[in-house]
Amino acid sequence: MEQTNCDRCKAPLVAGAAYCEVCGERTRKARRLVRLAVRVEILVLVLFVVLVFGFTWIFIQQKP
């Protein structure tokens, strides 16, 4: 269900809006998308760190 009014100022929202035109508050959908994007960025960062440490460990184990 699409949000029709701003949670902060109760002004009507334009269909598909990410922000309230009156007060600038993010809509619930926009907040969810931001949280999802942050989680994806953290996951990619963690996977990259694991990959780097994994290859470093393999390199160290191969030294005579």
> Would the pTM of this model clear 0.85, i.e. be above it?
no
In angstroms, the CA 2 to CA 24 distance is 18
Per-residue pLDDT tens over the stretch 21-60: 999 999 999 999 999 999 999 999 999 999 999 999 999 9
- Computed on alpha carbons and rounded to an integer, the radius of gyration of the chain in Å comes to 21
The structure tokens 């440490």 sit at: 53
List the structure tokens of 25: 């508050």
- First-to-last C-alpha distance (Å) of the chain: 63
The predicted structure's pLDDT at residue 1: 82
The predicted structure's pLDDT at residue 29: 96
List the structure tokens of 52: 């780097």
List the structure tokens of 2: 């699409």
